Structures are given as C-alpha cells and as structure tokens.
Amino acid sequence: MGKENPAAEKASNLLRSRLCDPNFVVKHLSDSPDSNYSSVTEACNNSILLLGPRGSGKIAVLELILTDLLLEYPDTISVIKLNGLLHSDDCCAFKEIARQLCMEHQLLFSKMASFDDNSQFMIEMLRECGLAHKTIIFVLDEFDLFAQGKQRLLYSLLDAMQSVTSQAVVIGVSCRLDADQLLEKRVRSRFSHRKLLFLPPSKEDMQRLLEHILSLPVDSSLPHAYAVEFNKKIKNILADGRFKEIVNTLVNLDSTVNHLLRFLFLAVSYMDLESGFLSFENFKTALSNSHRQPKLECIKDCSILELYILVCMKRLEVKEQNSYNFNSVMKEYKSIHDSFQTSDYYSRNVCLRAFEHLLQRELICFTDNRGYSQSVEFRPVKLLISSIELHQGLKSYCSCPVILLKLVER
Amino acid sequence: MAREKEESMQVSRRATRSSTFSANNNGIELGKPNDSYIPTLGDLVFGQEPISLDDLLSRFPGRRVQILELLRLLGTLNSSMPPLFVYGSASTGKTSIIIQVFRHLSRPFVYTSCLSCYSPRILFESILNQLLLHKKNAFNGYSSAKRCEKPSDFVIFVREALINVIDSLKENAEKTSTSKLKGQVNGKMIYLIFDNFELVREWDKSSSILPFLFGLSDILKMPEVGMIFISSTSPDTYHSNTGYVAPIHVYFPECTEDDLRQIFMRNQANQKLYSSFLDIVLRPFCRITKRVDELSTAFSLLFKRYCEPLSDLGVLPNGEMKRRLFSHLQPHIAPSLNEIFRVASQPCLECGVNQETRRKGGARKSVGSGDLDDIGFHMSTSAKYLLVSAFLASRNPATLDASLFDTTGVSDSRKRKRKASEKSLEQKEAAEQELLMKGPGTFSLERLLAIFQCITSVGEEEEGNDGLRVDEGSNALMSDILLQLTSLCNSNFIVKGGSCPLEGSTRYRSTLSEDLAIKVARSIKFPLSKYLYRR
C-alpha cells in the first residue's frame, strides 16, 4: 500500500522490539538494589521480597541484576527460577528445582524421582554448594501463589538457609503488597522481612524514559539524516503541552511502566510508513484506542429488541421487584406495548432468542448457580450494567427509539 | 488447510496382515512409518494460495478498519508484538478474518480452539502436536506426540518445540525467494492463536489457567512468538484477584446496516433484484437482530417468496414491478419477523407450500395458527398422552386430581360463580405472579402414571375402541411407558427436579409451554382445557 520506505520499516521494527522487551526499558531506569550484591560477596543467607503492582518492572530489574552478577562472578552463582503459576504444587516445585540444578551442574535428572528424593537432593546440593562457596539464588515469581496451602516449599527453602553450611538467597516477587502477611508463623520467622517496593516513576523519569525509548540510534544501520530528523520530531512532540496532557491522562489511570509501553506500542503501530515519522495524531489515536468502555460498546452492538428487554429489566428493578425472570420481563414488555402502542412488538420466541443473545453478551446473567433443573424462562436474572451506563448507551445509540429514552429517564 | 489434503492421501488400514505385503498398490506396510506424507514447515501456514490485500478487503465488506488495524498491529515481517486480544460478539467475523489475514501474510501460525480443546491437557497437547508437526494417524495409535497435563510440563515442552520451529524458520528464511508461492513461509516469527477463549473461564482450573495463558508470553520470554486470543466477550468479563498481563485489545463491532447490505449483496446473481428486496426487508429485520447467520436464513426463505411472481429470475425490476413485488411480499413480512429465528426443516418447507395453496381458498387465518396441526416433530400416541399428563401434573395442584379425573363427571362447570371480591382478585394476581416466577411444579412418578391411566381411559371412551388398549397386556405397556418417560427426559420435555425431602423419591417437572401442550392435545383430540386448573 503505497511506496514502502525501508528505513521507516526498519525504524518501526526497532521501536516495536524495544517496546516489547522489558530489559531495554529497565536498563535506563534501574536503581540497583545493593542488597543482592552484598549477599553474594559476603556469602550470607538472605531473603527479600520485591513488591509492586503488575507491570512495574520487577522481574525486568531482577533479570538485569542477575545478568550483571553472572558476568561479574561467573562461577559462584547459580540461579533457580520458579513461577507460582506453574509450580505452586510442592511436588512440582521440588521436581523443577531438581531439574534445574541438574541442568546447571550437568547431572542426570530422573523424571521418576519421588518427592522425598527431590527434597533430599536439594538439601544435599545446598550443602555441597555451600562448602564449595557457591551461592544459589532462588527466584520465586508470583510469590503469593506459593503461600497458598501448606507452604512446604517455602518452609524447606527458608529452613535450609538457616544452617551455616548453605549459601542461598531467596527472592520473592509478587504483585500483592501484603504478600508477607500470607506467610505462616514459622515461615515468617525465618524470613528476613526485607521488602523492596517498586513505585511508579516520577514525571521527570517518565519524560526521560520516553525520550530514551523513542529516539533512534544515530550511529546504526539506519540512514543518518533520517534518524536525526526523526529524533528532532520526537523531541518536538514530547515538549508539546498537549502531549504532556495525554501522558497525564494515561498515568492517572494506571501508572505502571507496562501501561505506558502498551500505549507507545499502539502509537508506533499507527506510524505512517510512507513518511516514516511519528506524529502527534498517532499518539492521540492510541490514547482513544487504549481507553475503551466495553459495556458501552456492547450496548451499541445490541439490536433494538434487545434494548427493549434491557429497559424492561431496568423498570422492573426500579419498581423494586427483588427477583424477576424472563416471564416477568415479558409481562412488562407487553404492558409497555399496551400503553405506548410501539411498533416493536414481537412474539415470545423471538424475545426469548434476543434474551439469550443478551446472556451471551454478558449484559445480564442468571442469579442462581445450580439452575439446570429449570428452563430459561423461569430462572431469575439480573442486569450487569448500571443505570448510568444504560442511559449513556441509549443516548449514544444511533436511531434509538424515543420511547426507550423516555422510559429510562423516568 | 493442508491437513485435509494429507488425510485424503492416506489409505484406511482395514486390510489384514497377510494381504498388505504388496508393494504395488497403495497398501501401507506394517512396521514402516507412513511414508506417503512427510510433514514440513509449510504445514504451519494456511495451505492454499495466498491472497492479495485487495482480495482480503473485498472478502469482508465493512471490516476494512478492523483488517487494517490487525495488519498494523502484526506489523511488517519479523516485528515483535505483545499479546493481542480480539473481541466482539458472535458471528462478527473474528476467526475468519484472522485466518485470512494470516493467509495473506503467509506467516506460520498454530491455531487451537478452546471449544474443541475443552480441557487444559487437550489444549496443550494440540499445540504441541502442531508445533512438532506430529499427525495423529493409525500408525501411532492416534496418540499425541507428548503427554502433557500440567502447565509446568507444557512450558518446558513448548519452549523446546518453539526453539526448533524458529530455527527451521530461520533456515527457511535464508534460502527464500520473493515470489509468492503456495506453501511459502514468510518470516521468522510464529503465532499462537487461541479461539473461543471465553470458554476457558468455565474450566475447572480456570483461576490458574487463565493467568497462565495470558502471561505465557512473559513466561516464555521469546520475542519470536506472538499470541492472539479471540473471545466473544469483552475483556472486563475476565475476573481475577491479582490481574493479568494486559494484552492489546482489538474490537470487532457488529455490522451496521450498510455493512449488512454489502455482505448480503455479495455473490448474488441478480444484484438489482436483490437490492430492491433488501430495501424492503433489511430495516425491519435489523431491529431484531444484526447477526449475519440469523438474518441469512430468514432472508433466503423470504427471497424465494419474493421471487414467486417472477417467471424470469434474471429480470431487472423497474418501478412498477418493484411495487408489485412489494405488495406480494408485504403480508408475509410481519409473520416472518415473528418466526425469524426458526429454521424450518425440509419436509416443513414442502408442506408449507401445500398449506399455502390450501389457505388461499379458505378463510384467512393468521400464519401462526396455520401450524396448528403441525407440531414439527413426530411422536407416538402414547408419548403424546404422557406429555399431556406431565403437563397437567405440573400445572395442577395434586389435591385437585381426584375431582378432575373423576370419571363420574366433570365438576368444573358446576362451580358457582361468585362475584370476585377485591381480596380474591389480589390473591389471584399474587397467585399468577407466583406461577410466572416459580414455574411449573414438580410431581412424582406415581402421580404421573395415575394421571396417564385416567387420561388414556378417557381417550378410549371417547374414540370408541380405537384408542389405546390399556387393559390388555398392561404390564408390557407399563414398561414401554417407562421407556418413553426416559426418552422424554432425555429430550428435555421432562426434567428431573430435586427429590422430595420426606420420601426421597425423585420428582419430575414438565417444561412444556402451554401453546405446545395445546397443540399436542389437539393432535390426539384430547380436551385439555377441561382439565386445566384456572385460578
């Protein structure tokens, strides 16, 4: 479509890959927690929790530090990574630890090893590594999921760290700020209560980050003049007051770095590949796309009969009927038709099908859970949208019958 | 896709061991792997000719914005992408557009539908089978390549498989040409598509599987893998305590009237004729539903009726002809609106035509009552009696049975009509309301059989001796009745309610609507209204 600008394509690819790679972002922003360094160099046992809302870059920072450490002390560190989504079951977790240890030290891993074998193995490895002055770093992602159930894994890990011969660091990462409250008493007593909170970046940091991400490198394979021109345009956009407003709106909604990155990705995908430059309009379109209201969109998708059913249900709620089902909605529908002589009066089967469409769209739902012994017409239902949303939806619906608006407003 | 072609090349292995050792015909030799088809990387691409962008846009009228948005987000070759979440109501074209977009781009993808892969294990194994280019055939006993139940195993296996696939894609990319060949694989990225994703919420372990699938791209940390989720419900219906990794949302709105017009005009032989037809019917039908699949069945029937007065279907209508056709179609539009969701089976269509000719002669009945004699399904007489007795059992309170089914006479007509006081009117209304809300009542098996016996004896008396012979061989008949009851339960005419708290026996409930019960009763000439309890 149109002539292709290979430089623009390369630039857009570069930007997109940067935006999808959290390490690039974090390198710029990082403030390294020195605690990790100290535990390695001084060979003491330590545990720490990294907490922060989802998308604030905790794992990315951790990866960064681990790669640095591995470069600095290549032989004395081994890293074991566990994820709460995958390994919250204790058997699974020990098997995974054993597997990773075996991979690290080129030992044979047997899939048939039992839970006891695996845990014995881990304790012995810890002792051996401690005697050899090697540190094992355990990274537990989604830490709150490990704290469900009996917490056997956490207890054995933290317990093994209490002995003098082992050198281990346990780093827990979680998006629940109260993750340490979930620990059992005996586990919590062995935990060192160090927490690192990941706060959202400040405005100046945000500005610098934006510039860092969006500026093309001048001395790379891209044509020099193009890159310089691109960077100049970016600087102009970033300095614009309207752009600062957009960023403020974004940050007010969700101040994590990930949210910003998704927004930037949308903007870069709108980049005009013919001219090869980002413009302010790209950012505006990206903002409107990332702030959607799904329920309003749902209402706009409904047909007029479905809107009638929604309005009937709303009226039943206003009349304070505690529970109502399809038959009562039909009664209300008939009464509306009788009093206002609308042209939209359809038979019961048609209305039942429209009712089922609404159930599929999840604008209404059944209130009973067991309900398979009753047919659809008798099960109690309720609305899943508020009256404000319904009102707004009707107002923005093109060619909405006037009668519906009148009925909702009363 | 490529898979169907490959299946047709295999020969069924019905032959016995001794007869398959002939190398001349296509028999498969035991002990050798199936060598008629070796799966290659090209299997991962859509198997047919790639299409151009204009072709893609013209196949989906009215979806230009969404197609362009998808193309922009997928980006040029080898550009990375965060997970995409495509949502929109049913039958808006999400799946077909995404598959055709991948056909246009000729990029490899792995498609799984959470409708056919209804548990985590089947989902994981299906993805692994496709990535490992493993076909389930008779040789390997229709088993998957790897047995995988837990997410932890899946991550390990899928990482290996993806690394292999990406390596072979890289090799393939180095020796590729620029012409668009069939089976050509572009790029070094592979995409995982999860369709019908809203069904994952209903799975047993959905609270751990959903965040796992949403966060799969973060767990794998492979930039060459792109993920696309297709769902028919919006993203705010996916609830979680601790939130998900946020994908990028792409929204598919319902078609507007103009879009629908364009869609229906495609592939029509006579464009002008169909366009004049759409002018009449599109607007009223769009008030009920905008889904293409539902409208198309309604329109196809109506169009046949619209074209009835025309002798030549290729004619271009002028103003006068349009008016004539409109007046012919007009009386059928309103009833057809009320039957819009009904798909008539073939015999009904034919007898519909016959009924048409019958109806024209007689008095003008409404179309709804034209179906009076036609319930639309076949049932034996005893099953119909059973249905009617179930309906009566659910509808009437048990205490009335004795008086209603007393063979010495119908007592209803002897009820003295008292002037209804206000209190009794209120009570009546409350009782009606309760009937609306609670639904049909439950009955026990014994009561059903008792009513059945009474009704069939009534039927017999009225028809002389042509009705059911209940007294002869009544034991055999009773087991038949119980079988009938089971089949009625299976077809959901009668459902099992809860059990009675005192006795512990199961109770049943009839789900028949009053209209259908009246139709069934009329077909066996049973006076249903005499036995219905009117409050």
A323, A375, A376, A399, best to mutate vs chain B, most B CBs in 10 Å: A375
CB contact under 8 A, A301 and B254: yes
Among A54, A262, A305, beta carbon nearest to B82 = A262
Nearest CA-CA partner of A304 in A177, A230, A403: A403
pLDDT given at position B208: 87
pLDDT given at position B500: 61
DSSP state of A275: T
Instruction: Report the alpha-carbon angle A152-A153-A154, nearest 5.
Output: 95
User: Model confidence at B97, in pLDDT bands (50, 70, 90)?
Assistant: very high
For residues A107 and A101, the answer to whether their CB atoms sit within 8 Å is yes
User: pTM, whole model, 2 decimals?
Assistant: 0.83
Task: Read off the tokens for B254.
Answer: 């319902």
- Chain B interface includes A386 (CB < 8 A): no
pLDDT given at position B231: 94
- In Å, how far is A373's CA from the nearest CA of chain B? 6
CB contact under 8 A, B242 and A297: no
Residue B377 CB burial class (10 angstroms; 0-12, 13-18, ≥19): exposed
The alpha carbon dihedral of A91, B218, A40, A70 has a sign of positive
Nearest CA-CA partner of B83 in B208, B214, B210: B214
Q: What is the mean pLDDT of residues B452-458?
A: 81
Buried-exposed string B126-164: b where 16+ CB fall within 10 A, e elsewhere: bbbbbbbbbbebeeeeeebbbebeebbbbbbbbeebbee
Chain B partners within 8 Å of A378 (Cβ): 437-440
- Chain A interface includes B215 (CB < 8 A): yes
CB contact under 8 A, B509 and A373: yes
Give Cβ neighbours of residue B348 (< 8 Å, ≥ 6 apart): B374, B376
**DSSP string for residues in B180-228:** --TT---SS-EEEEEESGGGGGGSTTHHHHHHHHHTHHHHH--TTEEEE
Task: Read off the tokens for B186.
Answer: 């572009």
- Chain A interface includes B339 (CB < 8 A): yes
Helix, coil or strand: residue A169: strand
For residues B445 and B481, the answer to whether their CB atoms sit within 8 Å is no
pLDDT given at position B334: 78
First to last CA, chain B: 62
- Chain B interface includes A368 (CB < 8 A): no
Percent pLDDT > 70 in chain B is 77
pLDDT per residue over B494-530, tens digit each?
A: 888 766 667 677 788 888 888 888 888 888 888 888 8
First to last CA, chain A: 52
Nearest CA-CA partner of A26 in A161, A154, A245, A213: A213
Give Cβ neighbours of residue B95 (< 8 Å, ≥ 6 apart): B195, B230
User: Model confidence at B348, in pLDDT bands (50, 70, 90)?
Assistant: very low
- In Å, how far is A93's CA from the nearest CA of chain B? 9
The backbone torsions φ and ψ at residue A211, rounded to the nearest 5 degrees and listed phi first, read -65, -40
Over B325-379, what HEC string results?
Answer: HHHHHHHHHHHHHHCCCCCCCHHHHHHHHHHHHHHHHCCCCCHHHHCCCCCCCCC
Among B211, B290, B339, beta carbon nearest to A85 = B211
For residues B488 and A352, the answer to whether their CB atoms sit within 8 Å is no
CB contact under 8 A, B80 and A323: no
Q: What is the mean pLDDT of residues B434-450?
A: 81
- Chain B interface includes A253 (CB < 8 A): no
- Chain A interface includes B287 (CB < 8 A): yes
pLDDT per residue over A178-231, tens digit each?
A: 888 888 888 888 888 888 888 888 888 888 888 888 888 877 777 888 888 888
Could you read off the pLDDT tens digit of each residue along chain A, which spans 410 residues?
344 567 777 777 888 887 777 777 766 665 555 555 555 555 567 788 888 888 888 888 888 888 888 888 888 888 899 998 888 888 888 888 888 888 888 887 777 778 888 888 888 888 888 888 888 889 999 988 888 888 888 888 888 888 777 788 888 899 888 888 888 888 888 888 888 888 888 888 888 888 888 888 877 777 888 888 888 888 888 888 888 888 888 888 888 888 888 898 888 888 887 887 888 888 888 888 888 888 899 899 899 999 999 999 999 988 887 788 898 899 899 999 988 888 888 888 889 999 999 999 999 988 877 656 677 888 888 899 998 999 999 998 888 888 888 888 86
pLDDT per residue over B257-266, tens digit each?
A: 888 898 888 8
Does pLDDT of B331 surpass 90?
A: no
Question: What average pLDDT does the structure give for chain B?
Answer: 77
Task: Read off the tokens for A302.
Answer: 């409904």
Percent pLDDT > 90 in chain B is 15
pLDDT given at position A13: 80
Q: What is the mean pLDDT of residues B276-285?
A: 87
Name the least confident of B367-381, B395-409, B449-463: B367-381
CA-to-CA separations, B341 to A346, B71, B289, B353, in angstroms, rounded: 12, 35, 10, 19
pLDDT given at position B140: 77
CA gap A364, A369 in Å, rounded: 14
- Chain B interface includes A85 (CB < 8 A): yes
CA gap A57, A68 in Å, rounded: 17
- Highest mean predicted confidence (pLDDT) among A363-367, B39-43, B421-425, B529-533: A363-367
Does pLDDT of B406 surpass 70?
A: no
Over B51-96, what HEC string results?
Answer: CCHHHHHHHCCCCHHHHHHHHHHHCCCCCCCCCEEEEECCCCCHHH
CA gap A272, A278 in Å, rounded: 7
User: Model confidence at B393, in pLDDT bands (50, 70, 90)?
Assistant: confident
Buried-exposed string A389-407: b where 16+ CB fall within 10 A, e elsewhere: bbbbbbeebeebbebbeeb
Domains and CATH numbers, chain B: 2-251 (3.40.50.300), 259-365 (no CATH), 377-413+431-531 (1.10.10)
Task: Read off the tokens for B28.
Answer: 């498969």
- Chain B interface includes A175 (CB < 8 A): yes
Pairing mode, strands B84-88 and A381-383: unpaired
CA gap A179, A191 in Å, rounded: 12
